[in-house]
Amino acid sequence: MQSAPHLAAALVDVGGTLWPNSWPHREGDGRGRLARLRLAMPDLSHERAAALVEDIITSSRDLNGGTTMVTELIRVDASVLIHDCLERHGVPPEAASVAAVRKAMALPIDDRIRPLPGALELLVAIRSFRLRCVIASNTYWRDADGYWDDFRTLGMAPFIDAIVTSVDAGHLKPHRAVFDLAVQAARVPAERCVVIGNKEAHDIEPALALGMRTILVHPDDPAPATSRAHAVAPDLWACAGALRAMLGRSA
């Protein structure tokens, strides 16, 4: 693999890369979202708030093929879905209200989610290589602020410089808006960035189109038959090694 010592930033995906592809559902999720919504919209009665939460969750599953976690299946933007649900429940769908409800739906990380093996070590390696670390992730309810809370809880925040999500960008990867925002956060040109992700179509191909280096990692996915990535790694420890080799660093 040809080294790229000029690299200055790593743009790192989350779902399927740093932690598992899907968010596990629990029976108490509805109660948690209801409590968060009532804090965000205290003027709503308990009954109206409960009905609104139920409608939002049911609609998100119905309109997105039964899931809002596997982002390649998302067909309806969360803000559009919430706007329509607010209208149905007689709540003015103002932009601030839509944003408040979306944040309320984003349950904070807890013991349901554990980083994939080697996740922390990869972030530590990126920092040791003196690369700027930017999280660039497709999400549904979550924005960058929500992710910051998650990474603080996991003890990973000290190794992250910036976070960009599809919610903040207004588009899902592979749309270049996510990558443009991530490059802006990286504070270097695209050609000085390496993208680390688990999806050929969502991470590798759009990054290559923008002149970036790429590492396809598949700790929570089957091994790819082929890939155009500059390196392919089966786990996050191997990913750190591939990044070291890409930078021309000795072990």
What pLDDT digit, counting tens, does each position of 91-112 carry?
Answer: 999 999 999 999 999 988 876 7
27, pLDDT greater than 80: no
214 vs 59, higher pLDDT: 214
- The pTM (predicted TM-score) of the whole model is 0.89
The DSSP string of the chain is ----TT--EEEE--BTTTB-SSPPP-TTHHHHHHHHHHHH-TTS-HHHHHHHHHHHHHHHHHHTTT-SSSGGG--S-HHHHHHHHHHHTT----HHHHHHHHHHHSPPP-TT--PPTTHHHHHHHHHHTT-EEEEEE--SS--HHHHHHHHHHTT-GGG--EEEEHHHHTS-TTSHHHHHHHHHHHTS-GGGEEEEES-IIIIIHHHHHTT-EEEEE-TTSPPPS---SSEEESSHHHHHHHHHHHTT---
191, pLDDT greater than 70: yes
- Most confidently modeled range among 108-122, 136-150, 192-206: 192-206
Whole-number average pLDDT of the chain: 90
Q: pLDDT tens for residues 68-92?
A: 444 444 556 888 899 999 999 999 9
Res 2: pLDDT: 66
Mean pLDDT of 141-155: 93
CA–CA separation, 233 and 218 (whole Å): 7
